[in-house]
Structure 1
Amino acid sequence: MIEPLYSPDEKRYESMQYARSGRSGVLLSRISLGFWHNFGATVPLATARDIMRCAFDNGVVSMDLANNYGPPYGSAEETFGEIFRKDFRPYRDELFIATKAGYDMWPGPYGNWGSRKYLMASLDQSLRRMGLDYVDVFYSHRFDPDTPVEETLTALVDIVRQGKALYIALSKWPREAEEAAYRFLDNQGCHCLLYQDRLNIFDRSSEQSGRLKTASDAGVGYIAFSPLAQGLLTDRYLNGIPEGSRATQGRFLKAEQITQEIIERIKTLSQIAANRGQTLAQMATAWVLNRPGVTSAIVGCSSASQLRDTISSIDRLDFSEEELRLIDAAAGIDKV
């Protein structure tokens, strides 16, 4: 039996919202699809394919990958490449594809951190796995305190000049290094497109440290990951830790983090969301997108239906001052 060709929804751009990324010509979908979880070799290809199709059918054009997403390392890019080859090659120019390098990828001294050799070799591998000639944006995934910052940044600039990436970006750099990097890159005529960091109702360190404002002041877009706090900001943990949840796997969200106090906070936030006519996941995503300077939020999901639910958060991005105050109180955030 010949599988029918994928034909995306003709109305895919009618309901999605788009925002300009800093001082650039790039518009990103307010929701970006993250490949950190649920696209590795342990997930059926059909599931990953349904999620990607659902994303594109709903106007999500920003795809966020990294070299070591899996498991195992590289397998999320391989999954993307297989689905891209089957479904999305005719729509390459409608997609905005990101990948990164900076964390452990292969053994030895050249498979980690921020050297020129690692960044360039990693991107070449990523392009082969995804079946692409270039990515739209390539990130330094983390700051390397031991490699001269000029080496890391010059490698990023050269990657753009070689045509292997259209733009460059930074993720999880300290504020002082972030600020200096923007000046260096602008002097090289290669403006930084995006800064990526964790931001959610529970974790506001990116705001509190000034990293988000530093990006905004420099004309750099800001893209938030973990808007749902690894699933905490969903209804999944309202009654404890369900079997098979991310917390039972103990990789990034650990069971000991889900205390009775956290559960009570989640319950209060869920009620605030219900009063707004949203699920907790929808409200948590909307809260991130409502923050000044935020261009897009990266969402992960385990099914197309879960993704559709989160995408609908853009239908209600407004918050009253009272709602924001209640959210702060429920999250344990003290306002001066």
Structure 2
Amino acid sequence: MSSLPYRRAGRSGLDLSAFSFGLWQKFGTDYPYDTQREIVLHAFELGITHFDNADRYGPPHRAAQQFFGQVLRNDLAAHRDELILSTKAGNPIGASPYLRGGSRKSLLGSLDHSLRDLGTDYVDIFYSHSPDPGTPLDETVGALVSAVQQGKALYIGISNYPTDRARETARLLRRAGVPLLVHQPRYSILDRRPETTGLLELAGDEGFGVVVYSPLAQGLLTDKYLDGIPAGARAQNSAFLKPDAIDDAYRKRVTTLNKLAAQRGQSLAQLALQWVLRRPEVTSAIIGASSAAQLDHNVRALDFPALTGDELAIIDASDE
């Protein structure tokens, strides 16, 4: 296994690799197992030790966890103590009220199922995947605390929580003796809400880390869409990226960013990954890949010099 830089998760004692590997997309039953396995094992060879999963990931739901469980059993079992495995619960995975939301039954029931899918006795990080305004926050927090007390999770995270609710969750967890380890928001050059809503500032104040997802904005922060939408691109068939996002304003902005990246001798994707990791509050950036070569390319973002003040100003101005 190679070595990536590690970054401390807030004021905890846990370090995470600067890049985490996410199984959100392309790890369902609609992709070849051997290809998926090659990518995951290569990620570990590169030094990525944090693998991010959820009960919802597939398709179908839970397929990504079942896939990873097979790889863990067949290839990575001897390295379990070197891995940080995370899972999430709370987003809908079925019509039943017990298959969604932040209730005690939903969260702990899903966690038990996830442990069976993964073939492990515990996960390192258990997330509430999204806030549930229909469930008292005390109940959601109580379920997360129970997961740690029962030995089924070592740490607790939250994902997609607005700043105010994250603040209250952190307070309740701290009072229960199970501090919030990480928050997982969407964050990229094209989506700066963790900055503008005060979430990054809250992370510093409360002492939790930030593990960001979609740092490449579903592929928008690559050169793929500079000349339109190529055949087979994600924008043609994804529920998370619509063709109307690729308009003239987008192309103008990304052309500016791509020119800056070229001047630095790197790709736009590498520039975008460096940009999210520039913040000290950010512990790790979740990346995916459709090939081992793509993974190699993205990880090389760490090889370039830090962004200068002038370069950061150009990135900021591209939004004007």
Please report the TM-score for the alignment, with normalisation by the length of structure 1: 0.93
Deviation, 1:213, is 1.3
Deviation, 1:169, is 0.7
CA offsets 1:174-220 (integer angstroms, 9 cap, x no match): 21111111111111110110011011001001110011211221010
64 and 317 in structure 1: CA distance in 2 versus 1, 3 angstrom threshold: farther
Letter in 1 for 2:164: E
CA offsets 1:266-306 (integer angstroms, 9 cap, x no match): 12111101111111111100100002311100011111110
1:167 maps to what in 2? Answer: 155
| 3-state SS, counterpart of residue 235 of structure 2 | helix
- Alignment partner of 1:127 out of 115, 118, 134: 115
CA offsets 1:221-255 (integer angstroms, 9 cap, x no match): 01110000000001111211011110000311011
Q: Does 1:30 align with 2:18?
A: yes
Letter in 1 for 2:41: R
User: Which whole-Å CA distance do the structure 1 matches of 2:37 and 2:111 have between them?
Assistant: 23
- Aligned runs of 1:190-201 on 2, under 5 Å? 190-201=178-189
1:289 maps to what in 2? Answer: 277
Q: Does 1:215 align with 2:220?
A: no
1:323 maps to what in 2? Answer: 311
User: Which whole-Å CA distance do the structure 1 matches of 2:317 and 2:279 have between them?
Assistant: 17
1:205 maps to what in 2? Answer: 193
Q: Does 1:44 align with 2:32?
A: yes
CA offsets 1:303-322 (integer angstroms, 9 cap, x no match): 11101110111112511111
CA RMSD in angstroms, aligned pairs only: 1.0
CA offsets 1:140-192 (integer angstroms, 9 cap, x no match): 01111111100000100010000000000111112111111111111111011
User: Which whole-Å CA distance do the structure 2 matches of 1:317 and 1:79 have between them?
Assistant: 37
Q: Does 1:64 align with 2:52?
A: yes
Q: Does 1:143 align with 2:163?
A: no
1:305 maps to what in 2? Answer: 293
Mind listing any 5+ residue stretches in structure 2 that lack a counterpart? Answer: none
Deviation, 1:256, is 1.0
159 and 317 in structure 1: CA distance in 2 versus 1, 3 angstrom threshold: farther
- Aligned runs of 1:85-164 on 2, under 5 Å? 85-164=73-152
299 and 317 in structure 1: CA distance in 2 versus 1, 3 angstrom threshold: farther
Letter in 1 for 2:292: A
Structure 1 window deviating more from structure 2 (59-68 vs 311-320): it is: 311-320
Mind listing any 5+ residue stretches in structure 1 that lack a counterpart? Answer: 1-8
User: Which whole-Å CA distance do the structure 2 matches of 1:243 and 1:212 have between them?
Assistant: 37
User: Which whole-Å CA distance do the structure 1 matches of 2:221 and 2:188 have between them?
Assistant: 9
1:5 maps to what in 2? Answer: none
1:228 maps to what in 2? Answer: 216
CA offsets 1:57-102 (integer angstroms, 9 cap, x no match): 1110011101000111111101111111111000000000100011
- Alignment partner of 1:261 out of 249, 253, 266: 249
Q: Does 1:272 align with 2:260?
A: yes
User: Which whole-Å CA distance do the structure 1 matches of 2:315 and 2:94 have between them?
Assistant: 42
Aligned pairs, how many? 320
User: Which whole-Å CA distance do the structure 2 matches of 1:58 and 1:268 have between them?
Assistant: 31
Deviation, 1:260, is 2.0
| 3-state SS, counterpart of residue 170 of structure 1 | strand
Identity among equivalent positions (%) equals 47
2:170 maps to what in 1? Answer: 182
User: Which whole-Å CA distance do the structure 2 matches of 1:186 and 1:261 have between them?
Assistant: 44
| 3-state SS, counterpart of residue 224 of structure 2 | helix
The question of whether the paired residues in 2 share the 8 Å contact of 1:289 and 1:317 is answered with no
